[in-house]
Amino acid sequence: MSAGLPPNAKTLVGIGDDAAVLATPDGRVVATTDFLLEGRHFRRDWSSAADVGHKAAARSLADCAAMGAEPSALLVALAAPPGLPVSWARELAGGLAAECARAGASVIGGDTARAGSVLLAVTGLGDLGGRKPVLRSGVRPGDVVAVAGPLGHAAAGLALLMAGMNSEPLVREHLRPAPPYDAGPEAAVLGATALIDVSDGLLADLGHVADASGVQIRLASDRLRPERELLAAARKISERTGSPSRPAPTPTPADALAQEWVLTGGEDHSLVATFPPGTRLPPRWRVLGEVGPGHGVLVDDGQPRTGALGWDHFASGR
């Protein structure tokens, strides 16, 4: 599995010994581990091996970025059925290596085993570069909430796949989410009080932050309007699945679907941060709302929605 997995400058001992050795000049290492399981997190008829590699790497590397760290390395455990073509594993390694390269990391170790389906367990390691880790628990009333990266795109892509519209551009954002890794350290430098990546959906993930910080997060619906491409995708799906063509209510079911993707779609791995009031944010950070006393996550003045909805991989896309 080491072919096509180049080490980087931090790899002191790479693939092939009992363990790898990674430089951690900061004196600390950020570490996270995640499964990517066939049938649950990906389907081999929808995702190419390279797609699976990209997605598996993105999942763990985004968690490193969500601590304010620069991703530095990946360990990959792969179990596969005996009949899996060697070319599939090679393309998987290619996808892992390519996503690592996007993040400045490299694959330094792994394990292989046999199993009835393809199982990946990916550990990401990251470097805080002397900065404090940005936790979920540091938010204060008055902070602003902002996001870097798309919301709802991966959910829209999954819904399009499920409706059989495999060639729509948003499908790629489900198969290969592209987390803005450098936004993590950027948020830390800007003084972010909390940081998380959107893996379970915006409301669910901000719910974790609100709970950990003991605050209420208030989102503004006019900052969460679905983009044109999401609305178009939702309409295509509504047409395909035969929604009634009577004069549409306001909002139409398609508009509501697109809005749901923005609020509850997971796996975009965009980064959501809270910043002290008055922080000058670079343009890629889009303000979504603000923080007050209380608990939970509100959209405008609606009911708190914390925990009410969450991304359940394939299940919630139906």
Residues that bind its own copies (CB under 8 A): 12-13, 16-35, 37, 40-41, 63-64, 66-67, 69, 73, 75-77, 79, 108-111, 113-116, 119, 121, 123-126, 128, 133, 135-136, 195-197, 212
> Which residues have CB under 8 Å from 4's CB, separation 6+?
90, 93, 94, 97
| Strands lying side by side in the sheet with 119-127 | 106-114, 70-80, 119-127
Tell me the two tokens of residue 121. Answer: 């367990």
CB of 195 to its own copies, least distance (A): 8
- Residue given tokens 């790898």 in the structure block: 20
Q: Which of 192, 202, 224, 194 is nearest to 268 (CA)?
A: 202
CB of 130 to its own copies, least distance (A): 13
What is the residue type of 46?
Answer: W
CB of 305 to its own copies, least distance (A): 21
CB atoms within 10 A of CB 102: 17
> Which residues have CB under 8 Å from 146's CB, separation 6+?
272, 273, 274, 275, 281, 285, 286, 287, 288
Nearer to its own copies, 22 or 160 (CB): 22
**Kind of pairing, strands 296-299 and 144-148?**
unpaired
CB atoms within 10 A of CB 3: 11
CB of 176 to its own copies, least distance (A): 21
Tell me the two tokens of residue 237. Answer: 């799906």
Nearer to its own copies, 197 or 260 (CB): 197
Tell me the two tokens of residue 312. Answer: 């359940």
Tell me the two tokens of residue 104. Answer: 């400045």
How far, CA to CA in Å, does 243 sit from each of 211, 237, 240?
38, 9, 8
Q: Rounded distance, CA 198 to CA 145, Å?
A: 13
Nearer to its own copies, 31 or 309 (CB): 31
Nearer to its own copies, 122 or 161 (CB): 122
CB atoms within 10 A of CB 300: 11
Nearer to its own copies, 66 or 178 (CB): 66
Tell me the two tokens of residue 23. Answer: 């430089």
Nearer to its own copies, 34 or 260 (CB): 34
Ramachandran angles phi, psi of 179, nearest 5°: -60, 140
Tell me the two tokens of residue 219. Answer: 């989102």
CB of 73 to its own copies, least distance (A): 7
Nearer to its own copies, 35 or 292 (CB): 35
CB of 160 to its own copies, least distance (A): 24
Q: Rounded distance, CA 199 to CA 196, Å?
A: 9
Nearer to its own copies, 195 or 299 (CB): 195
CB of 288 to its own copies, least distance (A): 19
CB of 15 to its own copies, least distance (A): 11
